[in-house]
Amino acid sequence: MKKILIYIFLSLAAITFLYPFYWMIVASLSPESEIGGLLFLPSEFTFASYTQMFSKIPIGRALFNSILVATLTTTGVIAFSSMVGYALALMEFKGRNVIFYIIIFTMTLPFQITLIPNYITMVKLDLVDTYAALVLPFLLNSFAILLFRQAFLGMPRALIDAARVDGCSDLRILFQVLFPNIIPTIVIVGILTFMNSWNEVLWALIVIRDESLMTMPQMVTLFSVGGRAESQLGVKLASAVLLALPIMIAYSFFQKYFIQSMASSGLKE
Amino acid sequence: MPEVKLINIGKTYEGGMQAVKDISLTIKDKEFLVLVGPSGCGKSTTLRMVAGLEEITTGDLFIENEKVNDLDPSQRHIAMVFQNYALYPHMTAYQNMAFGLKIKKVPKAEIHKQVMKAAEILNIEDILQKKPGKMSGGQRQRIAIGRAIVRRPKVFLFDEPLSNLDAKLRGQMRIELAKLHKKLDATIIYVTHDQVEAMTLGDRIVVMNQGEIMQNATPMDLYLNPNNKFVAEFIGTPKMNFIKGEILKIDGELFFKNNHFLFNISKVNNQQLENHIGKEVDLGIRAEDIYAEVGNLENYGKVHAQIVAIELLGNEKLIYSELEEHQLVAKFSAEQEVQIHTTIDFYFNLNKTYFFEKENGKRIN
């Protein structure tokens, strides 16, 4: 009996989360006139909102930009953060712990604090309105460094010694010996980074003006609130669906790792 | 001639901890040298310095007349076998063995030849495609040894390779290692805390304690002629018995006096004892040199003590008794009738006794 109550409660909670998504998708496929109601199913399905959206904004280009930026950022974070994590976990040098604590400290700083200095840096480097502006500031990530460091600390020391005797350089140890053994960590870092990069809108709004370089969230935001959707709700919703879709697909594939990452956060000592 | 020379080697860690103090040692070509000692004695650190995995703080290390202090492990022509095998978990046995050669860019055909040769020596051809996770401890250790053989090193380094195996397998692998040494004609430095392993495997044994060499000798020499109390106690099972006492000279004859007994040690062939008259010393005697009956003993001392425990080992038994603060252990044949909690006479063969200075444990002889 108690179990049934719990299930009912959880189901209701799940519905409150799922319904807005469901509504968004269904509404984007409904004729414009029917969107107002809290409908379950429209009288007919139509792709009118989508075709309109494609004709109004270069959403295809934005999708490409988003994928490019997110992929570059993710690859960069995995490569560079793992190197830093490796150094912090396995190399001995003076000030190692101090550096580690400083890196951890940066996790407590909200992005908004570094927003202006970062922007000024981009201006000085003449990188405004380039892909580099979207990728460079995100290539290192303290959380990813922490995750990698912990993963490397968990590896047996002798494994690294054996690799050294076999003649491996540090880079080879990292990528050929350790990487194949920390795949869950890599996947977690990959998903989190990809998601963060995909959803980043504020930074893109600041450093990108050129429409051909805009990412999806930026494009959709400008489109929805910038007036070009001409208060057509269906078109706005269609763009929102397109924005959410890749993440939802990725989530369904990597769900197992994703929940693991949220549950453990890699904070095993 | 791959000869390894350690000259005044020392290791001091950050913070001042001295793990190894000024060790000098030569490992001859084709020699099986065992470094043995209790944990924390610096034996593994010494081995890791030879391997190049640990920086040498002071001193010089030569392998085949080449100073290698500043060379990377891979350039020292060594191969190492680790206690926990340290196989790459994501690679098959074959790939594990081939990895080092692959990095050296050895041609594939040559790698294959070397791996198959090593696999044949170790009898592991049938598990080459397995990953370490699917192997038993013994198989993993074989692969780890195979990985070392494939490198064709000048010196093999073994860091407690058998400690993770169960007792039966350990005995088996010990014999195989001894055979392997003959087969490969290799120079081996082998670290262990197990004195049985050291005694059975080593051509020569170096006993270490607190970062220093206590004695460097052949197994039998260590057993029969320990330099000091530490070595006497460390080598041999059960441990050597030690009894505190004093050397006295009465009527021109030498005696070893304890609260319980007085041994006449005039006939003990030891000129140095004369120099320790009136001094406190430790008398050492091995379990097998204590008897239940006089038998053929000519030069003996008698001790009266109560039996507190008996361990039957099959063909022999260990008799434990207590003498004040000393615990005595004697090794009798299994036929010898003794009852626990009874008091009996123990006969010490005084010709097989050792004497050690009380202050520093140095042997008096």
Q: How many Cβ contacts (< 8 angstroms) between chains A and B?
A: 58
- A182: closest chain B residue by CA: B90
Q: What is the 3-state secondary structure (H, E, C) of chain B?
A: CCCEEEEEEEEECCCCCEEEEEEEEEECCCCEEEEECCCCCCHHHHHHHHHCCCCCCEEEEEECCEECCCCCHHHCCEEEECCCCCCCCCCCHHHHHHHHHHHCCCCHHHHHHHHHHHHHHHCCHHHCCCCHHHCCHHHHHHHHHHHHHHCCCCEEEEECCCCCCCHHHHHHHHHHHHHHHHHHCCEEEEEECCHHHHHHHCCEEEEEECCEEEEEECHHHHHHCCCEHHHHHHCCCCCCEEEEEEEEEECCEEEEECCCCEEECCCCCCHHHHHHCCCEEEEEECHHHEECCCCCCCCEEEEEEEEEEEEECCCEEEEEEEECCEEEEEEEECCCCCCCCCEEEEEEEHHHCEEEECCCCEEEC
A-chain CB neighbours of B151 within 8 Å are 166
- Which of B11, B14, B45, B53 should we substitute to test contact with A (largest number of A Cβ atoms within 10 Å)? B53
Binary contact (A168, B103; C-beta < 8 A): yes
- A155: closest chain B residue by CA: B86
pLDDT tier at A195, thresholds 50, 70, 90: confident
Two structure tokens written together for B18: 């001295």
| pLDDT above 50: residue B199 | yes
Q: Which residue has the tokens 């996770």?
A: B133
Contact of A187 with A254, CB cutoff 8 Å: yes
Binary contact (A181, B90; C-beta < 8 A): yes
Q: What count of residues does chain B have?
A: 365
What are the backbone angles phi and psi of residue B87, rounded to the nearest 5°? -80, 150
Portion 176-215 of A in contact with B at CB < 8 A: 177, 180-181
Cα–Cα distance for residue pair A160/A163, rounded to 1 Å: 5
Q: What sign does the CA torsion over B119, B121, B122, B127 have?
A: positive
- Which of A96, A164, A166 should we substitute to test contact with B (largest number of B Cβ atoms within 10 Å)? A166
B241-364 falls under which CATH superfamily? Answer: Nucleic acid-binding proteins (2.40.50.140)
pLDDT at residue A258, as a whole number: 64
Binary contact (A166, B87; C-beta < 8 A): no
- A173: closest chain B residue by CA: B88
| pLDDT above 50: residue A267 | no
Of residues A39 and B365, which shows the higher confidence score?
Answer: B365
pLDDT at residue A259, as a whole number: 67
Percent of chain B with pLDDT over 70: 100
pLDDT at residue A266, as a whole number: 40
Binary contact (A167, B79; C-beta < 8 A): no
B-chain CB neighbours of A167 within 8 Å are 72-74, 100, 103-104
- B77: closest chain A residue by CA: A165
DSSP secondary structure string for all residues of A157-213: HHHHHHHHHTT--HHHIIIIIIGGG-HHHHHHHHHHHHHHHHH--HHHHHH---GGG
The 8-class DSSP code of residue A123 comes to: H
Domains and CATH numbers, chain A: 1-46 (no CATH), 56-264 (1.10.3720.10)
What are the backbone angles phi and psi of residue B15, rounded to the nearest 5°? 100, -5
Two structure tokens written together for B352: 């097989």
Two structure tokens written together for A206: 């600041």
- B97: closest chain A residue by CA: A166
Binary contact (A165, B79; C-beta < 8 A): yes
Percent of chain B with pLDDT over 90: 68
Binary contact (B73, A163; C-beta < 8 A): no
Cα–Cα distance for residue pair B156/B102, rounded to 1 Å: 20
pLDDT at residue B169, as a whole number: 87
pLDDT at residue B321, as a whole number: 93
pLDDT at residue A262, as a whole number: 57
| pLDDT above 90: residue B222 | yes
Cα–Cα distance for residue pair B309/B326, rounded to 1 Å: 14
Cα–Cα distance for residue pair B344/B99, rounded to 1 Å: 64
Nearest to B76 by CA among B151, B146, B186, B169: B151
Average confidence score pLDDT of chain B: 91
Distance (Å) from the alpha carbon of A260 to chain B's nearest alpha carbon: 22
Beta bridge partners of B305: B344
Cα–Cα distance for residue pair A218/A52, rounded to 1 Å: 18
Contact of B195 with B234, CB cutoff 8 Å: yes
The pLDDT of B295-321, averaged and rounded, is 91
Check if B89 contacts A (Cβ < 8 Å). yes
Binary contact (B74, A164; C-beta < 8 A): yes
- A160: closest chain B residue by CA: B86
Two structure tokens written together for B112: 């294959």
B149: Cβ contacts below 8 Å, ≥ 6 apart: B79, B118, B121, B122, B184
B4-234 falls under which CATH superfamily? Answer: P-loop containing nucleotide triphosphate hydrolases (3.40.50.300)
- A94: closest chain B residue by CA: B14
Binary contact (B73, A164; C-beta < 8 A): yes
pLDDT at residue A251, as a whole number: 77
**C-alpha R_g of chain B:** 25
Distance (Å) from the alpha carbon of B211 to chain A's nearest alpha carbon: 22
Distance (Å) from the alpha carbon of B108 to chain A's nearest alpha carbon: 16
- B51: closest chain A residue by CA: A165
Q: What sign does the CA torsion over B35, B39, B44, B46 have?
A: negative
Binary contact (B72, A164; C-beta < 8 A): yes
Lowest mean pLDDT among A194-203, A255-264, B100-109, B246-255: A255-264
Check if A165 contacts B (Cβ < 8 Å). yes
- Which of B99, B163, B189 should we substitute to test contact with A (largest number of A Cβ atoms within 10 Å)? B99
| pLDDT above 70: residue A269 | no
Where do the domains of chain B lie? 4-234, 241-364
Cα–Cα distances in angstroms (integers) from residue A173 to residues A86, B103, B319, in the given order? 10, 11, 54
The 8-class DSSP code of residue A127 comes to: -
- B87: closest chain A residue by CA: A159
Check if A95 contacts B (Cβ < 8 Å). no
Check if B100 contacts A (Cβ < 8 Å). yes
A-chain CB neighbours of B82 within 8 Å are 158, 161-162
Percent of chain A with pLDDT over 90: 45
Distance (Å) from the alpha carbon of A204 to chain B's nearest alpha carbon: 40
Helix (H, G, I), strand (E, B) or coil at A108: coil
Binary contact (B74, A167; C-beta < 8 A): yes
| pLDDT above 90: residue B16 | no
Distance (Å) from the alpha carbon of A165 to chain B's nearest alpha carbon: 5
Cα–Cα distance for residue pair A133/B359, rounded to 1 Å: 74
Q: pLDDT tens digits for B94-146?
A: 999 999 999 999 999 999 999 999 999 888 999 999 999 899 888 999 999 99
| pLDDT above 50: residue B236 | yes
Two structure tokens written together for A262: 């949220």
Contact of B41 with B66, CB cutoff 8 Å: no
CB contact burial A236-269 (16+ within 10 A = b; e otherwise): bbbbbbbbbebeeebeeebeebbebbeeeebeee
Distance (Å) from the alpha carbon of A105 to chain B's nearest alpha carbon: 27
Contact of B25 with B216, CB cutoff 8 Å: yes
pLDDT at residue B1, as a whole number: 59
Contact of B124 with B140, CB cutoff 8 Å: no
- B48: closest chain A residue by CA: A161
A-chain CB neighbours of B53 within 8 Å are 161, 164-165
Cα–Cα distance for residue pair A222/A245, rounded to 1 Å: 19
CB contact burial B206-224 (16+ within 10 A = b; e otherwise): bbbbebbbbbbbebeebbe
Check if B88 contacts A (Cβ < 8 Å). yes
Nearest to B206 by CA among B35, B27, B7, B9: B35
Contact of B97 with B112, CB cutoff 8 Å: no
The pLDDT of A1-7, averaged and rounded, is 90
Check if A163 contacts B (Cβ < 8 Å). yes
Cα–Cα distance for residue pair B2/B31, rounded to 1 Å: 10
Contact of B1 with B64, CB cutoff 8 Å: yes
Binary contact (B73, A156; C-beta < 8 A): no
B-chain CB neighbours of A180 within 8 Å are 88-90
pLDDT at residue A98, as a whole number: 95
pLDDT at residue B22, as a whole number: 92
pLDDT at residue A229, as a whole number: 63
